[in-house]
Structure 1
Amino acid sequence: MHQQFPAPEALRDTIACFWHTRPDSTEFEVIPDGYAEIIFYFGGQCGIFANGAVQQLPSPFLMGLLDQPVRVSAASQLDILGVRCFPWTVFDLLGLAPAKGPHAFEHPITRLHTALAVTMASGGGVAAAVTQLQQYFLQTRGGMPVDNTILKAGAAMLSAHGVLPVSAVAAAAHASVRTLERKFKRSSGHTVKDVAGLMRFEQARNQLWRDPDTNLADLAQALGYTDQSHLNREFKRYSGTTPAAFKSGVRSIISTRPLP
């Protein structure tokens, strides 16, 4: 059960969308992609597997960019509300220093959890809770420092799905490569190449999920990988599995789905 809600126009340079999901299992895996997420959850304790144990996380927590899959464990079935942010804007939006992976954070938005829980349990449900989140960000977005270089660079990367070389991203942002890298690292905690690599992997993963019969050599060329071996290495780096194994897994899921 997954729902996605578009961000209001005034937030679209900062927030990609809002979403809700209700996983059908109390343990599930989160695969890296090109976004950072503010995660609210309701229904029980939630944590991640780390060093052989479950590390509890509060609601909300921040899921920074990942460089490998993360295994999530919950005490019971969860309702999850997410704010999908661009990694080059999320920390300025919250006034925080950049950080990687899933972690707790201190910010006034954490106080929204109780109000959102009440709304989720009421007649308004998910849609009303998403509206609350949207209103919160519409009211606070004005206090966010705006760096047009970063916004232009991010827009260029999104348009090209991470395929542009760093020099082309810098040109689109009207900045030198050195200036862009410095500003990008300050805002996201990552290099342009790091984020572009995740964006490109996400495109590959999504395409194979939509069509597991996609030719890998053609996909590598379309997404700007040097060759299929390059795609294989990057895909395994971020997902822990090869594109061929991922395709096989998708086919297995499709084959076990009941006919409509």
Structure 2
Amino acid sequence: MDIQNIVQSQSTLFVKDILVFENKDDVETVLPFFADGYPGLLFHQTENGLTIQPHGKKMPTIFLYGQTIKPIAIEVNGPFQIIIFQFYPFVLRAFWGINPEDINDRCHDLTNGHENEINKMISEILLVPTIPEKITIIENLLLDYFEQKRNKLDFLIREVIQYIIDSKGTIPIKEIAKKEKLNIRTLERRFLKETGISAKQFAKIVQFQSSLNQLTTKDFSKKSDIVYANGFADQSHFIRVFKAFTGMTPNTFGKM
């Protein structure tokens, strides 16, 4: 199975990453996903469909997903192409008029309703042979959305998100509020409205993801290196947060 991580310069203001998963073999594939703080848009081309577990739900060809807080897995039988646009979590409301909190751990079908441009886009994607061409078609639609709706985007919250990412989730939210000259309650209210989670929860997810990356890449000599590199109070704090987002301890995860 091929996995690619692509960043397109034109859309980096609102797209964090573009992920591509591809398998040409006739086998069953399971892709686990844990909380990462970023909602997104997923397009798939499969012979037998794509199912989200543990919900057991067959998914449409293209859909939005909200904050993934509980661990999930994507199941596909047979060959597939999956393209995921990961968004910075401040665009769902502006681009699609969705209350982000309403689709936490849920999805929104873009092929239903009045989104005629989505179905037209799917038809165009299915006509082109290469993944870069498919990505360009999706990105062009998103750039059109951006040009039409950029005045609805809360760029202050975009700045707050970047502060949290840059600090790996360890910067106190009250410190960010002070930098932005905002009352902390105002910041938290705006953050929740635009992202679907609180700034503190987003920071915890970013902190968890940093530790997960370090554990996955085995970039440590001993487990305590991960604890202190990512700002956890102690090892029990790290284990508690890790288990909350993965359903398993770091030791169990490391043996997978």
Q: Is this a same-fold pair by TM over 0.5?
A: yes
Closer/same/farther in 2, CA of residues 241 and 108 from structure 1, 3 Å limit: farther
Superposed CA RMSD in Å reads: 2.0
1:83-117: CA deviation from partner (whole Å, max 9, x where unpaired): 01112333323332212124133445632222212
State the alpha-carbon separation in 2 of the partners of residues 185 and 238 from structure 1.
Answer: 19
5+ residue gaps, structure 2: none
Map residues 2-151 of structure 1 onto 2, 5 A cutoff.
Answer: 2-9=3-10, 11-22=11-22, 25-43=28-46, 44-50=48-54, 54-98=56-100, 99-106=103-110, 107-108=115-116, 110-111=118-119, 112-119=121-128, 122=129, 125-142=130-147, 143-144=149-150, 145-151=152-158
Kindly provide the amino acid, as one letter, of the partner of residue 153 in structure 1.
V
Q: Given that residues 45 and 76 in structure 1 are in contact (C-alpha distance below 8 angstroms), is that contact kept between their aligned partners in structure 2?
A: no
1:75 CA displacement: 4.0
Quick check: 1:224 aligned with 2:231? yes
Deviation, structure 1 residue 213: 4.7
Q: 2-side partners of 1:50 and 1:208: how far apart?
A: 24
TM-score by length of 2: 0.86
One-letter code of the match for 2:39? A
Distance 2:89 2:158 in 1: 11
Question: 1:136 and 1:214, CA in 2 relative to 1: closer, same or farther beyond 3 A?
Answer: farther
TM-superposed deviation, 1:3: 1.4
Quick one: distance in 2 between partners of 1:212 and 1:127? 32
Amino acid at match of 1:4: N
Separation in 1 of the partners of 2:182 and 2:28?
46
Contact 1:163–1:200, Cα closer than 8 Å, also in 2: yes
Structure 2 counterpart of 1:45, which letter?
G
Q: 2 CA distance for matches of 1:77 and 1:153?
A: 40
2:187 & 2:116 partners in 1: Cα distance?
30
Does the residue aligned with 2:127 lie in a helix, a strand or coil?
Answer: helix
Q: 1:225 aligns to what SS in structure 2?
A: coil
| One-letter amino acid of the counterpart of residue 73, structure 1 | E
**Structure 1 residues 232 and 94: CA distance shift in structure 2, 3 A:** same
Using the TM superposition, give the Cα deviation of residue 31 of structure 1 relative to its aligned residue in structure 2, in angstroms. 2.1
1:159-190 deviation line (CA, Å, top 9, x unaligned): 11211121122223332211111101111111
Deviations 1:121-150 (A, max 9, x none): x2xx01111111222222220213122321
Give 3-state SS (helix, strand or coil) of 1:175's partner: coil
Cα displacement string for residues 17-58 of structure 1 (whole angstroms, at most 9, x for unaligned residues): 22211256333322221211210000131122346xx21211
Q: Aligned partners of 1:217 and 1:179: how far apart in 2?
A: 36
Partner SS, residue 164 of structure 1: coil
Structure 1 length-normalised TM: 0.85
Of 180-189 and 110-119, deviating more is 110-119
Higher mean C-alpha deviation, range 173-182 or range 100-109: 100-109
Contact 1:209 1:247 in 2 (8 A): yes
- Correspondence for 1:237: 244
Q: Is the 8 A contact 1:64 1:102 kept in 2?
A: yes
Query: Where does structure 1 lack aligned partners over 5 or more consecutive residues?
Result: 250-260
